[in-house]
Amino acid sequence: MSRYDKYSDEAVDVLLAVQDRAAAASRPETGLDELSRALAVAAVPELLEIAGTNGAWLDRGRLKAAFDEFLATPPSTVAPDSEPGSEAERAADAEGSGPLVRIGRLRVAGELRAVLDDAERLAGDEPVAPVHLVRAAWPAVRERLSSE
């Protein structure tokens, strides 16, 4: 079982965007820069809520730059915790549910791993959702996304 099995589809989309940002920049490790850009694209309502609660304003220029970068980056086709042609992938194809989308094997920086741990703690027994990622990441990504 992968740690990502505890994540909602929307949260996995954020993590795939993190992976895509790092891959597009030819970085072997994902970190908070990629997470802040992914959240700026995939979790805007959650960001607006937490920024407002904390008396911060999201910087439109930074959000637009993140969105433009998102549009210019090809989507990920790598799967988490399994290789192409794995048993899980063959089973999904046989069921007709299509290829599995998974998080690839890029290294996760310690700071990002800490955010994921906090998001899982915040989610408790529920699936990790983008709101959990935003709440866990806010202290670390605030400066990257807000203009105070």
**Structure confidence by residue, pLDDT tens digits, 40-82:** 888 778 888 888 888 888 777 877 777 777 777 766 554 444 3
What DSSP character marks residue 68? H
Burial readout 47-73 (b: 16 or more C-beta within 10 A, e: otherwise): beebbeeeebebbeebbeebeebbeeb
Q: Would you state the pLDDT for residue 75?
A: 63
pLDDT at residue 80, as a whole number: 44
The span from the CA of 71 to the CA of 105, in Å, is 23
Share the mean pLDDT of the chain: 76
CB 31 within 8 A of CB 140: no
Question: If you ran DSSP here, which 8-state letter would residue 73 be given?
Answer: S
Extract the residue ranges of the chain whose pLDDT is less than 50.
1, 78-86, 88-102
Residue 74: phi and psi, rounded to 5, are -65, 145
